[in-house]
A and B are shown apart, each in its own frame.
Chain A
Amino acid sequence: MGKTVFIKDTTIGGKDRTRDVYGILLGVLRERGLENNVQLVRVVDIGVYGQGVVVRVLPENFLYTHVEDADIVGIVEQSLIGGKPFAAKLVAEGARQLRIVLRNCGVIDPESIEEYIAKDGYQALAKVLSDTPEKTLQEMKTSGLRGRGGAGFPTGMKWEFTRKSPGAQKYIICNGDEGDPGAYMDRSVLEGDPHSVIEGMIIGGYAIGASKGYFYIRAEYPLAIERIEKALHQCREAGLLGKNIFGSSFSFDVEIRLGAGAFVCGEETALIASIEGKRGYPSPRPPFPSVKGLWGKPTCINNVETLANIPVILLKGGAWFAGIGTASSKGTKVFAVTGKVKNSGLVEVPMGTAIEDIVYGIGGGALAGKSVKAIQTGGPSGGVIPKEHFSTKVDYESLQQMGSIMGSGGMIVMDEDDCMPDIAKFYLGFCVDESCGKCAPCRIGGTQMLRLLTKVTEGEGTPKDLEQLEQISHAMQKASLCGLGQTAPNPVLSTLHYYRAEYDAHVKNKKCPACKCAKLVRFLIMSEKCVKCGMCFKACPVNAISGNRESGYLIDQTKCIRCGQCFEACKPRAISRS
């Protein structure tokens, strides 16, 4: 198999040497006559930051950081020719990870069904079809797999409910309407291993007695859609979809429906409405989709990551899967670690892994010179977890106890520069934008809360505003119709819980301790420290800094937009931020 090499200079500031390293590597390959066997790719983002020149060798997925020109020959000889790691610069990125969902991502060609089959693909389906659906349900219940879309409902039970619902026609839907800010695991699986999701879906269809499946994928994921389309085509050609799959009496086919850009359509009942061609409004439950779902028929909706687990579970057995994770949460979870962290990217760890192992161990901690303050899990429906609680072992229950949720697995790392009322405002703003507008508590409550938070972050807040925030939060949690509204106040409540002092500072002292809130921060040039280099002058995007290298520089506070670029640009730290 040919090899692929990704190259990216991740040095922050300074000259980008990606192209130079590319040239040297190409030269070394040419000398050895290997230039046609290795694909060199200068990537825009390699998922690692501030680590000098980074080189990733595929399919082995060897990751090298701080690569110097002198290392290149070693990498070529050891990894590209020898297929072994080049120990001097190797980063043990995957040591703490356990890849079940992502087992094939980046390893096989996602557009090749043969490569998937070579990795035991569709064997689970063959096995399942040779036995009764009840056996599959039993195996799923044994596995303890819980839905990875956020709510964590046991998948085996969901399937069983749908199977037991009366009705000749049933449906299974794959929910690929991923929308949490910073979460992209579903996209990566759909793009990187479409067949595993399809196989999971066919198995689900067999288990619940559905003859038809729908992929609901957001239209902003064109590559995912293209790859699923191709994979479905391949399946039909190979007889894996259509009539009498593997010669059994089971017939099943799948259609794709595109989401039109509404976050709320990830909610089951709104998703169904959307597939039916209606406005993406959630509807009250009961009736649950397992009883009355798409076109009024019993319907099971599973998340992409959930479905990608299924072939492995059924091949290796439910008991094997149940052996991974914690008492209540089995298997692994993919997290999209993003934000102010050195190594952002998708990580897949067993349930019960401590947050610190993910943030520091795999993520490499905060960016240079900063310290981690907290993480946000569960996207806009989740909450923040301060670094003091990073020993928490991640599973559905523990995160809930912390005032957050697992959600779809977004994990956004925040550092000392992040202001908590501002973070709460950001997430709430997302939910306010995405509120469908159907129910009053979410539609109006969210908007009122956002207005109050804006007041707070602009230094106009009063203690009464904080009371009202809590009052509305409570009403929204209890009286909203769907999960979006019920959980939208979570970021506000959890930041109020853990960082009350920051809110008080905004409200009582009119100060933003993180110096983030533009209306509450002031940048000043301290003339005694200033070396008159002019870097601040160049950095200012709005020409609020005037002066020259003789006279020194001055910030015009009426023009300043408090973006902080001068502060970051000033090497001698002559700009104060208060």
Chain B
Amino acid sequence: MVKAVINGLKVEVPEGTTILEAAKKVQTKIPTLCKHPDAYLHASAACGICIVRVKGTKKMLRACCTPLDEGMDIVTHDPEIVSIRRTVLELILSNHPNECLTCGRNNNCELQSAVADFGIREEFFKKIVPNIPKDDSTGNIVLEPRKCINCGRCVDVCQNVQDVWALTFLQRGINTRMAPAGDISLAESPCVRCGQCSAHCPTGAIVEKDDTQLAWKVLRDSEQYCVVQIAPAVRVALGEAFGFPLGKNVTKKMYAALRRMGFKAIFDTNFAADVTIMEEASEFVERFAHGKSVLPLITTCCPSWVDFMEKFHGDMIPHFSSAKSPHEMMGVLVKTYYAEKNKLDPAKLKVISVMPCTAKKFEISRSREMSASGYQDVDVVLTTRELARMIKQSGIDFASLPDEDCDHILGEYSGAGTIFGATGGVMEAALRTAYSFVTGKKLSKVEFENVRGLKGVKETSVNIDGKEVKIAIAHGLANVEYVLNEVRKAQKENRPLPYHFIEVMACPGGCVGGGGQPYGVTDELRVARAKGLYSDDEAQAVRCSHENPYVQQLYKEFLGKPLSEKAEKLLHTHYQKLPVYRR
């Protein structure tokens, strides 16, 4: 522990704690525009606003990256410090377009808030705003470099947390700008659309493509029959936009809101997650117990991970589960099973997915197999952030809504389906079902605590019927390489496999920390959201996917059994090696 003084108050913090963090212990917030509270991101020290003084000296330090040393005496606010911060803020403002009213981050922008807090009412410096065109080539992540304040968060998260290296800085001096490496378009870059850049951007320089107007258009078209599905992780994050405590599960209010917005049927992706488990667990059992095809089996629910693998780890394709992601399964089931059952014309059925994810916007058109129903299985994808905006546009007082239920058959889910949203959740859900498939027995304890938590790579093993199933769970794409290299090494040296089953989620924390979730993600928030999901799991009467009576009904009425010909056609897909750069 380090003992020091901040603003005359004694403070004791663990060694290595930055001044910025330590100041919070004495109820002091030091402003910063570049340091994100998310521990995954490094302090880039780019904005220069967090300067503090060593008491009695002229020396200024950057609070964001300077560890508090034993005996330090720090002043965080004095007239000179505040005036310098103000000047720097005015300089940043002089390099930023005044487009707040039409900006994707209006009312939710760190620069805007800082300028408001400092009471800047007049622009002293002449505007020097670069004229760089916006890049919406991907159709899901939009770069607006003119609004960039060069904090470096996106580059850090893209290179160091996600290991994708799509974004970098180009040029130098006043011309420095964030852009895809090589100044190509984002669609031509290795970008996997995880959206972590947009989730961490302090301004509107990187935002999700707004599909709310498209969604309204589809929804209001009286010719169309529009249904909606909600991903597991959305329910524990949406509440943040309406003042609910972190991690609060608002599933039933969300159903009510969607119904009032005019959706004909409200389905839950958690149901489709249960179906995914039926297919994926069966696939695992086929490979593990019956030696069909290779091990380890790797999960494929995450479209960013799939894209990343196709670009960077093409040799792993045989290990990939062919099961589609839950929301794609839902899409195809709506346009086949649900349409048939309710005698609806699939051509007029529209499926909107609400996802914590920007990559899902890309996934719906990634290959022809995403139109297995004969129509594009999912029509529009909205992120959690977009849904929050739509609810506000609808004039719905979300916080006061009564609880409502979802619509029948494609809505009711098991506890296993809901935990998909947290890292380790897919694995846990699959293990619950795989255990029963292999042993024919019911699990006495369905929780697998070893697969939970925020450790970057979780390695553990589970005993199924006397056989040890070795598993690994990675989240944050930078953690993938270690896991895959362990597999490659073992294959090369002909050693026993290090793992039989691997789960990968691109975003740190899994979908609860997804690129389309409300801003300001930290580990504290990831834990709170995940906790919300695990509580939801505990609250369910049915905890295992294969025990979900409606899933059983679906197989009985429509699919036959997992991996049946029909299931393969509708619920499974293929992968192909992709070039890293598309140029």
Query: What residues of chain A have their CB less than 8 Å away from a CB belonging to chain B?
Result: 262, 279, 281, 283-284, 286, 432-441, 443-448, 451, 468, 471-472, 474-475, 478-481
Contacts and interface: CB of A to CB of B under 8 A. Distances in A.
Given A436-B172, A438-B176, A479 B48 contact: yes
Given A480-B48, A481-B45, A443 B87 contact: no
A440 B92 contact: yes
Contacts of A481: 45-46, 48, 62
Interface stretch (B122-130, B215-223, B226-234): B122-130
Nearest to B174: A447
Nearest to B44: A438
B45 A440 contact: no
12 contacts: A437-B169, A437-B175, A439-B46, A441-B88, A444-B174, A447-B128, A468-B125, A474-B84, A475-B48, A478-B60, A481-B46, A481-B62
A479 B125 CA distance: 18
B149 interface: yes
Contacts of A437: 150, 169, 171-176
Contacts of B80: 478
A434 B51 CA distance: 23
Nearest to B45: A284
A529 to B, nearest CB: 44
Contact of A440 (B46, B67, B169): B46
A478 B173 contact: no
Interface in B1-51: 43-49, 51
B425 interface: no
A439 to B, nearest CB: 5
Contact of B173 (A436, A451, A474): A436
A432 B66 contact: no
A440 B152 contact: no
Contact of B45 (A432, A439, A472): A439
Given A438-B152, A475-B87, A479-B88, 15 more contacts: A286-B66, A432-B174, A437-B150, A437-B169, A438-B44, A440-B95, A440-B150, A441-B48, A441-B91, A443-B173, A446-B174, A447-B128, A447-B173, A448-B125, A478-B51
Nearest to A445: B91
6 smallest CB-CB distances across A and B, nearest first, come from A437-B176, A479-B48, A475-B87, A284-B65, A284-B45, A444-B91
Chain B, interface SS category = loop
Interface string B79-96: 010001101100110110
A297 B173 CA distance: 29
A268 to B, nearest CB: 15
B91 A475 contact: yes
Interface string B539-563: 0000000000000000000000000
A479 B128 CA distance: 20
A478 B171 CA distance: 25
Contact of B94 (A286, A434, A448, A478): A448
A475 B85 CA distance: 8
Contacts of B173: 432-437, 443, 446-447
B168 interface: yes
Contacts of A439: 45-48
A475 B168 contact: no
B91 A472 contact: yes
Contact of B43 (A284, A433, A435, A451): A284
B516 to A, nearest CB: 29
A433 B175 CA distance: 10
Interface of B: 43-49, 51, 60, 62, 64-67, 80, 84-85, 87-88, 91-92, 94-95, 124-126, 128, 149-150, 152, 168-169, 171-176
A475 B84 contact: yes
Nearest to B80: A478
B171 A451 contact: no
Contacts of B95: 440, 443-444
A437 B155 CA distance: 14
Contacts of A444: 91-92, 94-95, 128, 174
Contacts of B152: 438
Contacts of A433: 173
Given A436-B173, A437-B174, A475-B84, A468 B48 contact: no
B401 to A, nearest CB: 43
Contacts of B84: 474-475, 478-479
Contact of B67 (A283, A286, A471, A474): A286
Contacts of B64: 284
B91 A440 contact: yes
A265 B175 CA distance: 18
A451 B126 contact: yes
Nearest to A475: B87
Given A284-B66, A448-B126, A440 B172 contact: no
Nearest to A431: B173
Contacts of B67: 286
A444 B87 CA distance: 11
Given A435-B172, A468-B125, A284 B62 contact: yes
Contact of B128 (A283, A451, A472): A451
Nearest to B89: A440
Contacts of A478: 51, 60, 80, 84
B51, B87, B169, most chain A CB atoms within 10 A: B87
Contact of A279 (B87, B91, B169): B169
Nearest to A474: B84
Nearest to B81: A478
Contacts of A474: 84, 87
Contacts of A434: 172-173
Contact of A438 (B46, B87, B92): B46
Contacts of B60: 478-479
Nearest to A455: B126
Given A284-B45, A439-B45, A262 B126 contact: no
A478 B61 CA distance: 9
Given A475-B87, A479-B88, A443 B174 contact: yes
A436 B171 CA distance: 8
A447 B80 CA distance: 23
Nearest to B58: A478
Contact of A468 (B43, B65, B124): B124
A279 to B, nearest CB: 6
A445 to B, nearest CB: 5
B88 A475 contact: yes
B149 A440 contact: yes
A446 B62 CA distance: 20
Given A286-B67, A445-B91, A479-B49, A436 B150 contact: no
Contacts of A448: 91, 94, 125-126, 128
A278 to B, nearest CB: 10
Contacts of A284: 43, 45, 62, 64-66
Nearest to A464: B124
Contacts of B171: 437
A478 B84 CA distance: 8
Task: Output the residue of B62, B88, B95 with the most chain A CB within 10 A.
Answer: B88
A440 B48 contact: yes
A279 B169 CA distance: 8
A471 to B, nearest CB: 6
A474 B152 CA distance: 24
Contacts of A262: 172
Contacts of A279: 168-169
A471 B62 CA distance: 20
Contacts of A441: 48, 88, 91
B92 to A, nearest CB: 5
A448 B90 CA distance: 11
Nearest to B67: A286
Contacts of A283: 45
Nearest to B47: A440
B125 to A, nearest CB: 5
Contacts of B124: 468
A284 B44 CA distance: 8
A435 B173 CA distance: 4
A434 B176 CA distance: 11
Contacts of A286: 66-67
